Structure 1
Amino acid sequence: MRIIAHRGASHAEPENTAAAFDAALADEADGIELDLQLSRDGEVVVFHDATLARLGLRRARIRDHDWRDLAGLDVGRWFAGQATSHRMLRLTDVLAGWGGRTHLYLEIKHAEGWRGRDRHRELAERTAEAIRAAGLIGHASILSFHGAALDAVHALVPTLALVRNVQQPGLLASAARQRARLAAICVAIDRFGERRRAQLAALERPLYVYTCDTPAQFRRARVLGATAVISNDPAAARRWFDAEAPA
């Protein structure tokens, strides 16, 4: 079972930060999943939310700020017990710092607003271009809940691995239509029970599941035939699967 660190080892460090990524490597995760947004001036930045509300900026949005504004924020201030500051990263920082050291699973977040579709495509294309420029095509996968983002990546860099995220069973049909281009399907562990196993197997693609942190979720991942789990606590996930491995 491959263990992928969800936003880094985010049980121990603020998600999507250098500290979380370093902790994931220390935990011997097989890869790191992280989230990408687009700043106002076109910089690809590492942050999950469309807004900065958890940083105390309730109405501020990533899309309305240039990188020079975002670079000064302490993105770990919300995380309990933090005595040090954590700066927002750019995709280029991640590729330089962790690319080649582990496999990167880069999620293209949906761009909201009246120009959302164009910004979504721009984010996908800038991400693909950055990976190609860094020479890391074989060391990164692109994830998205939105087929259009994956289509944009494929059009620009056809050799990049694509993973379609699926939140609920009713959306599997959309993923199935895109199956020929996909390296894997990634489904929400709490939305897919054992009776979906045959349906998932029929897609004939490796199965990833998110987000797995409990023994019950680990067991369900195994029942579904998952080949990789995305976990906030990769070390705990590894211990469970190692302990439960067939003799």
Structure 2
Amino acid sequence: MRIIAHRGASHAEPENTAAAFDAALVEGADGIELDLQLSRDGEVVVFHDATLARLGLRRARIRDHDWSDLAGLDVGRWFAGQATPHRMLRLTDVLAGWGGRTHLYLEIKHAEGRRGRDRHRELAERTAEAVRAAGLIDQVSILSFHEAALEAVHALVPTLALVRNVQRVGLLTRAAQQRAGLSALCVAVDRFGAAQRARLAALERPVYVYTCDTPAQFRRACDLDATAVISNGPAAARRWFAGQTSA
């Protein structure tokens, strides 16, 4: 079972930060999943939320700020016990710092607002271009809940691995009909169970499961014949699966 660190080792460090990514490697993760948004001036930045509410800026949105504004924020201030500031990263920072050290799973977040569709495609295209420029095509997978984002990536860099996130069982068949380049399906652990095992197997795609942190969730991933789990605590996940192998 491959263990992918969800936003880094986010049980121990603020998610999507350098500290969380370093901790994921220390904990033995096979890869790191992280979230991408687009700043007002077109910089691909690493942050999960569309807003900056958890940083105390309730009405502020990523899309309304340039990178020069975002670079100075302490994105770990919400995390308990943090005395050292954690700065927001750009995709280029991640590719330079962790690319080549582990496999990166880059999730393209949905862009909201009147220009949402255009910004969503722009984010996908800028992400694909950055990965190609870094020479890391074979060490990166692109994840998204949205077919349009994956199609935009595939049009620019056809050899990049694509992973379709699926939150509901009813969307499974449509998601599996994604055009060329789809390397895996990533399904929600609390929405999929043993009843969907045969259906997933029939689609003939590797299955990843998110977000797995408890023994019950790990067992459900096994029930689905998953090849990878995305976990906030990669070391704990590794110990659990190792225990099953040795039992």
TM-score bracket for this pair, using the shorter chain length: over 0.9
2:232 alignment partner AA = N
Q: Deviations over 1:154-194 (max 9, x none)?
A: 00000000000000101112212116421100000000011
User: Who is 1:26 aligned against?
Assistant: 26
Letter of the structure 1 residue corresponding to residue 85 of structure 2: S
Q: Separation in 1 of the partners of 2:167 and 2:180? A: 20
Does the 8 A contact of 1:179 with 1:203 survive in 2? no
The Cα of 1:140 is off from its aligned counterpart by 0.3
Q: Are 1:210 and 1:231, in contact at CA under 8 Å, matched by a contact in 2?
A: yes
**RMSD over aligned Cα atoms:** 0.8
2:159–2:181 CA contact under 8 A, matched in 1: no
Corresponding letter in the other structure for 1:22: D
SS in 2 for 1:212: coil
- Structure 1 CA distance, aligned partners of 2:30 and 2:176? 26
Gaps of 5+ in 1: none
The aligned amino acid for 2:99 is: G
Shift of 1:227: 0.2
Partner deviation per Cα, 1:119-167 (whole Å, 9 max, x = no partner): 0000000000000000000000000000000000000000000000000
Partner of residue 65, structure 2: 65
Q: Counterpart in 2 of 1:218?
A: 218
The answer to whether the Cα contact below 8 Å between 2:74 and 2:85 also exists between their aligned partners in 1 is yes
Equivalent residue, structure 1, for 2:116: 116
Cα distance in 2 for partners of 1:177, 1:13 equals 37
SS in 2 for 1:162: strand
Percent identity between the aligned chains? Answer: 86
Counterparts of 2:204 and 2:160, CA distance in 1:
19
C-alpha distance in structure 2 between counterparts of 1:18 and 1:70, whole Å = 15
Cα pair 2:176 2:185 within 8 Å, conserved: no
Cα distance in 1 for partners of 2:183, 2:53 equals 34
| 2:42 matches 1:42 | yes
Secondary structure at 1:132 match in 2: helix
Matches within 5 A, 1:101-112: 101-112=101-112
1:128 maps to what in 2? 128
Provide TM-score, normalisation by structure 1.
Answer: 0.99
Could you say which residue in structure 1 is the equivalent of 2:170? Answer: 170
TM-score by length of 2: 0.99
Structure 2 residue aligned with 1:2: 2
Whether 2:78 is the aligned partner of 1:84: answer no
Tell me the alpha carbon deviations over residues 21-40 of structure 1, each in whole angstroms, 9 at most, x when there is no partner. Answer: 00000001000000000000
- Structure 1 residue runs of 4+, over 3 Å off? none
- Comparing 49-58 with 194-203, greater Cα deviation is found at 194-203
Q: Structure 1, residues 184-225: CA drift from partner, whole Å, max 9, x if none?
A: 000000000110001111110100000000000000000110
Match of 1:199 in 2: 199
> What is the CA–CA distance in structure 1 between the aligned matches of 2:179 and 2:214, rounded to whole Å?
29
Provide the rounded CA distance (Å) in 2 between the counterparts of 1:90 and 1:33. 14
Gaps of 5+ in 2: none
Which range is displaced more, 112-121 or 167-176?
Answer: 167-176
Q: State the one-letter code of the partner of 1:39.
A: S
Q: Which amino acid aligns with 2:153?
A: V
What is the total number of aligned residue pairs between the two structures?
A: 247
Write the letter of the residue equivalent to 1:208. Answer: Y
Map Cα deviations across residues 108-129 of structure 1 (whole Å, 9 max, x no partner). 0000001000000000000000
**Matching residue's letter, 1:174:** R
Separation in 2, partners of 1:178, 1:18:
33
Q: Secondary structure at the match of 1:118?
A: helix
